[in-house]
Structure 1
Amino acid sequence: MIWIVFWLVIVAILWGATNPLMKKGGAGIENIHKDSTVKQFLAELQFLICNWKYLVPFVINQSGSIVFYLTLASAELSLAVPITNSLTFLVTTVTGYLMGENIGGKETILGMCLVLAGVTLCVWDKT
């Protein structure tokens, strides 16, 4: 059971830590303007694929998806989804803060503590 929780936390870290990096790496995509929907899509796709600042975090993020998929084979869905989703939120917020993003005030910190307490209770109940 502890190994399942360990791998779910790893997934949350892989997803959460890469979210702000992908956001930062994808900056500038809003400046691409083409005259048709298809050309717009292809230009944006080319921008992202050729941009290592976006592509590296994206590949790491997707490796988290692979670990999540493999972990689901032995994890209870009622445990896996709350752990990964809530901890991904926490890791995304902390990573964003470390990168200089505004994460909000005391309410955000309180919310993060409540989420962490909820995940702890969820894991505790299942063990």
Structure 2
Amino acid sequence: MGSTFSPWLSLLAVGALWGGTNPFIKRGSKGVQKWQYILPFLLNQCGSVVYFLTLQQTDLSLAVPIANALTFLFTALVGHLLGEEKIDKETLCGITLVVVGISLCVYGKI
């Protein structure tokens, strides 16, 4: 892979680490056993490290909205997979708009 794709994959990883761990952190913080909270929290913090490193290579006007939008997307999907909420029409519409918005941002910068 060329260096051109690295920041985009990094932002995808950030969104997955932040959003994918949010439902686990929420679930783990309710329990008595701390390990259920610590592992998702550490993975979430790994996302912050990747984000920090990615900001050095990426246009800030793209990095921030892409990472935050992907976080929303992954939080909704993982929460659904964990049975927290069903993805209703409004959420699906929001996910679609997020993907379209990210695509337009990236397309506008290319």
Q: Same fold (TM over 0.5)?
A: yes
Does 2:62 correspond to 1:76? no
2:17 equivalent in structure 1? 14
CA RMSD after TM alignment: 1.4
Runs of 4+ in 1 over 2 A off after TM superposition: none
Match for 2:14: what amino acid? V
TM-score normalised per structure 1: 0.80
> What number of residue pairs does the alignment pair up?
107
Does 2:79 correspond to 1:96? yes
> What secondary structure is seen at the aligned counterpart in 1 of 2:57?
coil
Which has the higher relative contact order, 1 or 2, with Cα contacts under 8 A spaced 6 or more apart?
1
2:28 equivalent in structure 1? 25
Match for 1:19: what amino acid? N
Deviation of 1:111 after TM superposition, in Å, equals 1.0
TM-score normalised per structure 2: 0.91
Gaps of 5+ in 1: 29-46
What CA deviation, in whole Å up to 9, does each residue of 1:84-109 have, x standing for no partner? Answer: 00010000000000000114521110
Aligned residues with identical type, % of pairs: 48
CA distance in 1, matches of 2:57, 2:30: 38
Match for 2:109: what amino acid? K
Q: Which structure: larger Rg?
A: 1
2:6 equivalent in structure 1? 3
